[in-house]
Amino acid sequence: MPKLADILVNDIKGKAFPLGREIDGKVVLFVNVASKCGFTSQYDGLEALYKRYKDQGLLIIGVPTNQFYQEPTDGDSCRLRFGVSFPILEKMNVNGNDAHPLYRHLKSEKPHLLIGGGVIWNFEKFMVNRKGQVVDRFISLYSPEVLEVYVKKELGVSKSSSLVADVLHVIYPLLAPVFFGVISLLETVQGHDYVKKFMQ
């Protein structure tokens, strides 16, 4: 499997995005996004996080996907509708046999506890350190406000962490199988092949 920096990706306009150069020496959050998801309220928090820490080395990269049936457009609506200034990549698949190499890499480096690598839902986040290593993963329920503690710690801005964030970091991964179970049920009822793609 190629190194993260060597993976070829395009930006939202379909032009080559220099991933290796852009992430070099930075702390990166990859977030699979959509414009019609119930978690779109996180856009504001992600944008605030990006503006607050980008000069200290934070990069947020949005990755539109329609695998959860909530991004039917070309993906540019994520940027236009929600006014984010961080980079948005071309729409891609994050699960299944046709998952983009970017997400194959991220998932293999940091699988979920008990249920494996699949992305459960929109607004799941992968954190990459300054060396290009995938060091953490956060399910959709992690708000940008909670994420800030982990971002600051990885950036070296703060070595301390809050008790609430530490507790959530233990609880949320344990909730991932439950979250997956609920989403699987809802998607199966709607006739979607969610589970099959998740497991591939």
Q: Are 66 and 72 in contact (CB under 8 A)?
A: yes
pLDDT score at 98? 92
8 A C-beta contact, residue 143 and residue 165: no
Digit-coded pLDDT (tens) for 152-186? 999 998 766 677 777 877 787 788 888 878 878 87
Cα torsion 122, 24, 50, 136: sign? positive
The answer to whether the CB of 27 falls within 8 A of the CB of 129 is yes
**Residue 118: CATH number of its domain:** 3.40.30.10
Q: What pairs with residue 30 in β-bridges?
A: 61, 126
- Other CB atoms closer than 10 Å to residue 103's CB: what's the count? 24
* Domain tally, the chain: 1
Q: What is the mean pLDDT of each run of 10 residues along the chain (200 residues)?
A: 91 95 98 82 94 98 88 60 85 94 97 88 96 95 91 86 74 80 78 71
C-alpha 17/C-alpha 53 separation (Å) is 22
Task: Judge whether 39 and 49 are in contact, CB under 8 Å.
Answer: no
The reported pLDDT for the residue numbered 167 is 80
The whole-number pLDDT of residue 71 equals 66
How far separated are the first and last CA of the chain, in Å rounded? 16
Is 83 within 8 Å of 76 (Cβ atoms)?
Answer: no
Task: Give me the pLDDT at residue 65, please.
Answer: 92
pLDDT in the model for residue 22: 98
Measured CA to CA, the distance from residue 50 to residue 55 in angstroms comes to 9
* pLDDT for position 123: 95
Beta carbons within 10 angstroms of residue 113's beta carbon? 11
Q: What is the pLDDT of residue 169?
A: 76
Find the catalytic residue in 4, 9, 27, 37: 37
Establish whether 37 is a catalytic residue: yes
Enclosing domain of residue 55: 4-199
Kindly report the pTM of this predicted structure. Answer: 0.88
